[in-house]
Chains A and B, each alone.
Chain A
Amino acid sequence: MSFVTAIDIFQSYGNRPIIERVNLSVEQGEFISIVGASGCGKSTFLRLLLAQERPTHGSISIDGAAAAVEPGLDRGVVFQKYSVFPHMTVRENIVAGESMRTTWGRFFGAELKAARTRADETLARIGLDHVADQYPATLSGGMQQRLAIGQALAAKPSVLLLDEPFGALDPGTRLSMHDFLQDLRAETGMTVFMVTHDLDEAFKLGDRVLVFDKPRWDPHDPSAYGATITYDFDARDGGIPFQRLKESINVRTTP
């Protein structure tokens, strides 16, 4: 039984199909990179995974649960920007990862103290303990994204969704963010979906690389057909195939 299952997903806006016939099954702990040209539905697919949108057809289930109708605790997310709360300090942002689910959205008394201690541990681990009392606006882009990831993980989601998380960062920061993400992953064994434009990044971080593309193309009406997963690469072992006994490299052919 796979951890994340997408069965026969179609999504269209009005009568414009965006993605069609997407089937996917992902094991727990896998890191899935999603690449594709702009407008090929990879962000749409991530929003479907997030349950921010509901598919026009088909269903996505995580850990055997029924298809979600709205975003919830089991899905963590980091966007390219606006991923942390600008009106909370860095420490409060991490605490919010745990406290948002309570009735008042905040902790009081001893609970607050304990949450702050945990937040400080998290901040030390993600290297932000020296800016704990600052507001996110004063941090660099890389630090903000690290904070966003730390905040998402504080809620202990079962799946982490990243929508071009490092798209706005400079190459150097991006490399250190890769290390950071790989460390975190080794630590938590989290199932991750990451949408990216950067193929190197996709193969470096992912266990699998999914390519979204339009298998059918009408030159007179480019938006007539939606995109689907056209390639599903095994990206382990540095993307070099045939290093293991059983391997699933497949080029999906759509009927």
Chain B
Amino acid sequence: MRLINLVPSRPLALFLVLLPFIAVIIAYAIGSDIRLTANPQDKLLPAPSTIGETMVKLTTEGDRRTGDILFWQDTWASLQRLALGIGISGSLGLLFGLVIGLLPMARSLLAQFVAVLSMIPPLALLPILFIVFGLGELSKVVLIVIGTLPFIIRDMSQRTLEIPDELLVKAQTLGASSWVIALRVALPQVMPRLIQAVRLSLGPAWLFLIAAEAIASDSGLGYRIFLVRRYLAMDVILTYVIWITILAFIMDWLLRRASKRLFPWAEGGL
């Protein structure tokens, strides 16, 4: 039988899905064990049990000085910045994407400009943002927006352009104005693609968030990781990294679910 026709049965498929995860955990445990037997004081690869204890301690015990649980505070601060940044990018991206995609005048005016803007490395602008917007929340949110907006605008305008001409002509023969075509024909058709674009932008968004937090902040997941790096607290860093991964995965999963639930007609295309 050809390999391309070899399809795993359901239990085997589940096993195959879990296999790489299990393999990584086992590999880490072995590596950690080897180092710890050589030197019980080793800080680089803490034992899984140590990480587990740290996790419980981080998520339940309050700070010695204030009594607040820093872990949840960091999570809340980071998620707020991320949601604000992605929310602004998504809405502006949708708006500009529709305008560029639908109106030839706006396309001539903005398309090349956005294409050039998207080539600027956002992290190179970070010092400027800190200078202009200060070290507060604003500069972090703006970094996420600058980092993800050009991509979303370009993706949205491209998707809008891909709407078959027939549909736009059809809407015109039904008497629709440009506004109604944008609202009733283009907008609903690009909404599933917007969710897609936001899902793809989440990775860069996390990157910019953690970079901004690492450089100047007083709370946030990225801030904490770079803070405890000074003490070589690998157990804390790993806990935070795992947590960030889980958060990112849940967001992606929620968006995928939302897309399927809200736009059942687009099922086949996505």
- Tell yes or no: A248 within 8 A of B by CB: no
Tell me which of B173, B180, B184 contacts A77 (CB under 8 A): B173
CB pair B265–A72 under 8 Å, yes or no, is: no
Cβ contacts under 8 Å, B184 to chain A? 85, 96, 100, 105-106
CB pair B172–A70 under 8 Å, yes or no, is: yes
- Tell yes or no: B183 within 8 A of A by CB: yes
Cβ contacts under 8 Å, A137 to chain B? 265, 267-268
- Give the interface segment out of B38-46, B67-75, B99-107, B161-169: B161-169
Interface range on chain A: under 10, 10 to 19, 20 to 34, or 35 or more?
Answer: 20 to 34
Q: Give the distance to chain A from B175, nearest Cβ to Cβ, in Å.
A: 3
Cβ contacts under 8 Å, B180 to chain A? 100-105
Q: Give A76's nearest chain B residue, CB to CB.
A: B173
CB pair A157–B173 under 8 Å, yes or no, is: yes
- Tell yes or no: A150 within 8 A of B by CB: no
Tell me which of B164, B169, B176 contacts A100 (CB under 8 A): B176
Given contacts A73-B174, A100-B174, A137-B268, contact A85 B166 (CB under 8 A): no
- Tell yes or no: B10 within 8 A of A by CB: no
Q: Give the distance to chain B from A147, nearest Cβ to Cβ, in Å.
A: 12
Please report the C-alpha to C-alpha distance between residue A139 and residue B244 in the assembled complex, in whole angstroms: 44
Please report the C-alpha to C-alpha distance between residue A77 and residue B174 in the assembled complex, in whole angstroms: 9
- Tell yes or no: B27 within 8 A of A by CB: no
Tell me which of A87, A97, A103, A106 contacts B174 (CB under 8 A): A97
Please report the C-alpha to C-alpha distance between residue A178 and residue B250 in the assembled complex, in whole angstroms: 52
Q: Give B184's nearest chain A residue, CB to CB.
A: A105
Tell me which of A84, A85, A100 contacts B175 (CB under 8 A): A100
Please report the C-alpha to C-alpha distance between residue A100 and residue B168 in the assembled complex, in whole angstroms: 12
- Tell yes or no: A59 within 8 A of B by CB: no
CB pair A101–B185 under 8 Å, yes or no, is: no
CB pair B164–A85 under 8 Å, yes or no, is: no
The total of chain B residues at the interface (CB under 8 A) is 25
- Tell yes or no: A185 within 8 A of B by CB: no
Cβ contacts under 8 Å, A223 to chain B? none
Cβ contacts under 8 Å, B164 to chain A? 82
Tell me which of A71, A85, A87, A105 contacts B173 (CB under 8 A): A71
Q: Give the distance to chain A from B24, nearest Cβ to Cβ, in Å.
A: 40
Please report the C-alpha to C-alpha distance between residue A72 and residue B188 in the assembled complex, in whole angstroms: 22
- Tell yes or no: B111 within 8 A of A by CB: no
Please report the C-alpha to C-alpha distance between residue A155 and residue B172 in the assembled complex, in whole angstroms: 11
Please report the C-alpha to C-alpha distance between residue A72 and residue B175 in the assembled complex, in whole angstroms: 6
Given contacts A85-B167, A87-B189, contact A135 B173 (CB under 8 A): no
CB pair B188–A50 under 8 Å, yes or no, is: no
- Tell yes or no: B263 within 8 A of A by CB: yes
Q: Which of A75, A81, A85, A135 has the most CB of B within 10 A?
A: A85
Cβ contacts under 8 Å, B185 to chain A? 85
- Tell yes or no: A61 within 8 A of B by CB: no
Taken residue by residue from 154 to 196, chain B's Cβ proximity to chain A (1 for < 8 Å, 0 otherwise) reads as 0000000000101101111111110110011100110000000
Given contacts A82-B167, A104-B180, contact A87 B172 (CB under 8 A): no
CB pair A135–B265 under 8 Å, yes or no, is: yes
- Tell yes or no: B8 within 8 A of A by CB: no
CB pair A50–B264 under 8 Å, yes or no, is: no
Please report the C-alpha to C-alpha distance between residue A73 and residue B172 in the assembled complex, in whole angstroms: 7
Q: Give A71's nearest chain B residue, CB to CB.
A: B172
Cβ contacts under 8 Å, A173 to chain B? none
- Tell yes or no: A152 within 8 A of B by CB: yes
Please report the C-alpha to C-alpha distance between residue A99 and residue B264 in the assembled complex, in whole angstroms: 23
**B interface residues with partner A (beta carbon < 8 Å):** 164, 166-167, 169-177, 179-180, 183-185, 188-189, 263-268
5 nearest A-B residue pairs (beta carbon): A101-B175, A105-B180, A100-B174, A105-B184, A82-B166
- 14 A-B residue pairs with CB within 8 Å: A50-B169, A73-B175, A82-B167, A83-B166, A83-B170, A85-B171, A87-B189, A87-B263, A87-B266, A96-B174, A100-B171, A151-B170, A152-B173, A155-B174
